[in-house]
Amino acid sequence: MSLQRKHFDILVALEGAKEALTQRDLEKITEYSLGTINKVYRELDRDGLVEGGRITAKGIEALEPYRAKRAVFIAAGFGSRMVPITLNTPKPLVRVHGKRIIETLLDACLEAEIEEIYIVRGYLGEQFDQLLYKYPMLKFLDNPVYNEANNISSAMVARHLFSGSYVFEADLLLSNPKIITKYHYTSDFLAILMDRTDDWCFVVKDGVIKEEKVGGENCWQMVGISFWNKEDGKKLEEDIPSVFNGPGGKERYWEQVPLVYKKENYKVEVRACKADDIVEIDTFRELKAIDPAYDV
């Protein structure tokens, strides 16, 4: 069954709760008005999706089509701005305070009950095998042209896996695993609302991404974590090779396919996170600032 957005949000709130929730609790969590909560809750109760402030088995079944089924990690690049540490180690495997960067993301996936996980590797790819000791469920895909093309080449390798899937840049240091959520109403991109940024950012209208650009004011700074629903995943499977094989296609970033070059085919929402939820360590200097063990 398909759910209306408000019904979905209330079911997700109940599914994530450890105890029964009152309608006042739901008002705080969802930020809907109490009147809306009362109306929607009555409808869910009538349909057998909730009972006594808890989600029922039928309610969980109704959420199943919205569940993140898998995760794809784009991890093939060299990480040139992190030299010298990346001369012998792929950037996602660099340790920060003793933990590999990619592990912060993998642990969050497992916490969200996402266990079908693929890593697209390239530079020093065999080193990713060491992750299997802790994460035996991992599957690897090899990008043979990672040093000849941008990360769209990694998306080419994994494009058949994007439906119902998270797509991660693998070099993000996650400090708040709760931003990796089990259920998504539609395709979305994580971003941070900024007064001003020089980084990649989104122009957003009514919660939907309208433009991707570099730098801006009162915009949403892109975080390299997105989710793609079943329908959009199928479209990406066709649109990624279309862009990749077109003029200048090998120079593109993969997310430019749905956000720039084929954006008429997609309606991607922005999903808010905070600046301290996640850190992208771009340079060796930034690594030393975060982990003084490298400052020798």
Same domain (yes/no): 35, 131: no
Same domain (yes/no): 53, 126: no
Same domain (yes/no): 55, 146: no
Query: The domain spanning residue 32 has which CATH number?
Result: 1.10.10.10
- What tens digit of pLDDT does each residue of 16-40 get? 998 999 999 999 999 999 999 999 9
Contact between 143 and 121 (Cβ < 8 Å): yes
Find the mean pLDDT for residues 87-92: 90
Of 13, 65, 92, which Cα lies nearest the Cα of 233? 65
Same domain (yes/no): 239, 102: yes
Same domain (yes/no): 119, 160: yes
Tokens describing residue 262: 């084929």
- Give the pLDDT score at 283: 87
Say whether pLDDT at 237 is over 80. Answer: yes
Same domain (yes/no): 42, 147: no
Tell me 162's DSSP state: -
Same domain (yes/no): 31, 153: no
Same domain (yes/no): 57, 115: no
Same domain (yes/no): 58, 127: no
> Does residue 103 sit in helix, strand or coil?
helix
- What tens digit of pLDDT does each residue of 249-291 get? 999 999 999 999 999 999 999 999 999 999 888 888 889 989 8
- Give the pLDDT score at 110: 97
- Give the pLDDT score at 1: 63
Say whether pLDDT at 134 is over 90. Answer: yes
Of 22, 54, 62, 51, which Cα lies nearest the Cα of 38? 22
Q: Which residue has the tokens 């898998």?
A: 70
Domain span at 117? 67-294
Domain count, the chain: 2
- Of 15, 31, 65, which residue constitutes the final position of a domain? 65
- Give the pLDDT score at 79: 77
Up-side HSE of residue 120: CA atoms within 13 Å toward CB? Answer: 25
Average pLDDT score over the chain: 94
The model's pTM = 0.94
Find the mean pLDDT for residues 194-203: 94
> Does residue 151 sit in helix, strand or coil?
coil
- Give the pLDDT score at 280: 85
Q: How far is CA 237 from CA 1, 122, 148, 156, 259, in A?
A: 25, 21, 21, 8, 15
